Amino acid sequence: MRPSVDAPFPPGALTVLLPVHNEADSIEPVLRELNERVVRPFGARLLVCEDGSTDGTSAVLNRLGSELGFRPECHPARRGYADAVRHGLRLVDSPLVFFTDSDGQYDPADFEALWKEIPSCDMVIGRKVQRLESVYRGLLSRGFHVLIKVFTNVPLSDVDCGFRLLRKETIETVLPEVRSLPYSFWAEFSIIAWRRGLRIRQVPVSHRARLHGSSTIYGWNKLPRILVLQVLGLLRLARRLNREPARHR
């Protein structure tokens, strides 16, 4: 199989990165779909960073790794989403990395829309055209995006989308500065990248229902603490960035 779009990147130039935590019931179809749509057609390496799962996810990954030709990076203790992503990004040794969340809500078929744009960009971010999530999560997201625009003046509409394609140089430039938003790793990454003058484009992507279960990050019992940390972190980030002028892209 060959990529259906032309781009100046040879086979082996792409790593597909997923963080995984407690997705034993859904990770197999997610990985098989990614393998069929992205890994095989684009000659990519699959990098799966498992983060202290307790539901048998590691066993599923080890079985699939033998079949699909990848070695999962399994960690015995829970590090959290941001640290798992950070660890995976540091392991990337290819010129490009395609990141997607592991819950099956993003359609790998949309990868080609990102691939078409990357020759002229440093990072291409998916922009969900319809968010399939609970009402309160949608309200939290919209409120957070309003605060981002107010505090940082970054015009991106979906800064925290977990479906993106970026260059290794972008990772090397931005990752060391991502430290203020523990629950919004990609939002902070996007904000810093924009303020550093990197070339960023957003493309519409679909958003599907989770294959199994539901996210537990924003449970009601955790919400007050998360809200406080997010607002304080955004204020710290804004102060840090506003000490210097935004760079032209």
Per-residue pLDDT of the chain (249 residues; tens, 9 = 90+): 445 445 567 778 999 999 999 999 999 999 999 999 999 999 999 999 999 999 999 999 999 999 999 999 999 999 999 999 999 999 999 999 999 999 999 999 999 999 999 999 999 999 998 765 656 566 777 888 888 988 998 999 899 999 999 999 999 999 999 999 989 999 999 999 999 999 999 999 998 887 765 555 555 677 788 889 899 999 999 999 988 766 655
Q: Do residues 162 and 100 touch, judged by C-beta distance below 8 A?
A: yes
Can you give the pLDDT at residue 196? 94
- Bridge partners of 172? none
Q: Do residues 46 and 115 touch, judged by C-beta distance below 8 A?
A: no
Q: Which residue has the tokens 């996007």?
A: 190
- Write down all domains in the chain, each with its CATH number in brackets: 14-242 (3.90.550.10)
**C-alpha span between 37 and 176 (Å, rounded):** 31
Q: Can you spell out the DSSP letters for 162-225?
A: SEEEEEHHHHHHHGGG--S-TT-HHHHHHHHHHHTT--EEEEEE-----SSS---TT-TTTHHH
The torsion angle over the Cα atoms of residues 222, 100, 24 and 36, rounded to 10 degrees, is: 170
Taking the alpha carbons of 31, 45, 115, 92 in that order, is the dihedral positive or negative?
A: positive
Strand order in the sheet with 14-20: 73-75, 45-51, 14-20, 96-100, 163-167, 123-128, 200-205
Can you give the pLDDT at residue 199? 97
Where does the chain have alpha helices with state H? 27-34, 57-68, 81-91, 111-117, 135-152, 168-174, 185-195, 223-242
3-state secondary structure of 96: strand
3-state secondary structure of 240: helix
Give the Å distances, CA to CA, from 46 to 35, 71, 107, 114, 128.
8, 8, 16, 17, 24
Q: Do residues 178 and 188 touch, judged by C-beta distance below 8 A?
A: yes
